[in-house]
């Protein structure tokens, strides 16, 4: 058996010998034997340290909340992928890869917080004031204020405010929560002045704030949120795989399936004749000149 390194890099994360696997200096088998939890190990992985009990509790709470969110873009991806019956891992990979700039954009929120905390420090402004500046700058520029609003939970994500409260209850609140609370206050004050409805904090605003507070870098926090969701997406995919119909288009199912032909609504160019090869060059030239195609370019 060839046990030569498969891929070589200088790394400060882990090493593995025939005797042990060591993560940031800790033998992982010893870590598990000593009773440390998976959430403890996440601090070791991303922060090179063991957390306090309160920090571990906060992460446990958050990962528990992040895990399941029923039908979101990530679960829909897992459903779609598994309907072709690849390996279950492909559905999980697709689900995790679904997270981007709209679905769970945790890293971007983290970097936004860093930028404004740093400005508060450099400019000698309180975090309370900086929250208002952040909101005004974003709204004046026509940008969305990250961490606010959720398209399905119109009265506020049921997980978000309890996460803030847990954050405070555990006594681990610091600069991040202070700034986030200020953002929420000034965001809604401005919306009220503008005659707009109240918009509550979402799980990026609440969850990512707590993750930042307990020491996770923006991308580490993003990883935690998105990969945790992978578990539930895998469960959804397994359900589809074991109890659903492959291809998702069967006419024999009592309910119209996701990919039934009748689910297709077409809004593109009208049906048109295919030009012969003899006509093609003249046809293409005219079509290109007329320019009607430009409205369809993606």
Q: Which CB atom, from 189 or from 263, has the smaller least distance to another protein? A: 263
Of 139 and 231, which CB lies nearer to another protein in the complex structure? Answer: 231
Q: Cβ distance 24 to 44 under 8 Å?
A: yes
Cβ 50 vs Cβ 44: under 8 Å: yes
* Shortest Å distance, C-beta 267 to another protein: 10
Instruction: Considering the complex, state which of residue 193 and residue 243 has its C-beta at the smaller distance from another protein.
Output: 243
| Cα–Cα dist 79/6, whole Å | 33
Query: Are 175 and 116 in contact, with CB atoms under 8 Å apart?
Result: no
**Residue 15 in tokens:** 């090493």
Nearest approach, Cβ of residue 196 and another protein (Å): 19
Angle made by CA atoms 11, 15, 17, in degrees to the nearest 5:
150
- In the bound complex, what is the minimum distance in angstroms from residue 213's beta carbon to another protein? 17
**Tokens at 118, concatenated:** 């740093």
Torsion angle of the four alpha carbons 241, 247, 253, 258, in this order, in degrees rounded to the nearest 10: 100
Nearest distance, CB of residue 14 and another protein, angstroms: 5
Closest separation in Å from C-beta 205 to another protein: 16
Min CB(284)–another protein separation in Å: 17
The sheet with strand 21-23 has its strands ordered as 14-16, 21-23, 26-27
**Do residues 127 and 177 touch, judged by C-beta distance below 8 A?**
no
- Which CB, 118 or 253, lies closer to another protein? 253
- Residue whose CB is less far from another protein, 255 or 298: 255
CB-nearer residue toward another protein: 182 or 202: 202
């Amino acid at each position: 058996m060839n046990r030569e390194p498969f891929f070589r890099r200088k790394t400060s994360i882990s090493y593995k010998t025939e005797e042990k696997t060591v993560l940031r200096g800790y033998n992982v088998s010893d870590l598990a034997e000593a009773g440390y939890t998976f959430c403890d190990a996440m601090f070791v992985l991303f922060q090179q340290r063991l957390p306090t009990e309160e920090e571990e509790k906060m992460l446990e709470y958050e990962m528990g909340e992040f895990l399941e969110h029923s039908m979101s873009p990530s679960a829909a991806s897992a459903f779609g992928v598994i309907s072709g019956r690849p390996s279950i891992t492909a559905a999980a990979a697709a689900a995790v890869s679904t997270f981007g700039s709209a679905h769970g954009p945790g890293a971007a929120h983290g970097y936004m917080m860093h930028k404004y905390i740093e400005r508060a420090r450099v400019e000698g402004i309180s975090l309370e004031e900086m929250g208002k500046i952040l909101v005004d700058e974003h709204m004046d520029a026509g940008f969305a204020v990250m961490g606010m609003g959720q398209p399905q939970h119109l009265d506020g994500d049921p997980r978000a405010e309890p996460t803030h409260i847990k954050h405070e209850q555990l006594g681990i609140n610091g600069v991040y929560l202070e700034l986030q609370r200020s953002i929420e206050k000034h965001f809604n004050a401005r919306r009220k002045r503008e005659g707009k409805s109240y918009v509550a904090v979402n799980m990026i605003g609440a969850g990512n704030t707590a993750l930042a507070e307990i020491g996770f870098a923006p991308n580490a926090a993003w990883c935690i949120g998105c990969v945790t969701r992978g578990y539930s997406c895998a469960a959804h995919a397994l359900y589809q795989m074991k109890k659903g119909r492959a291809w998702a288009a069967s006419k024999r199912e009592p309910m119209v399936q996701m990919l039934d032909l009748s689910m297709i609504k077409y809004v593109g160019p009208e049906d048109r004749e295919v030009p012969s090869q003899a006509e093609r060059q003249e046809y293409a030239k005219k079509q290109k000149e007329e320019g009607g195609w430009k409205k369809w370019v993606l």
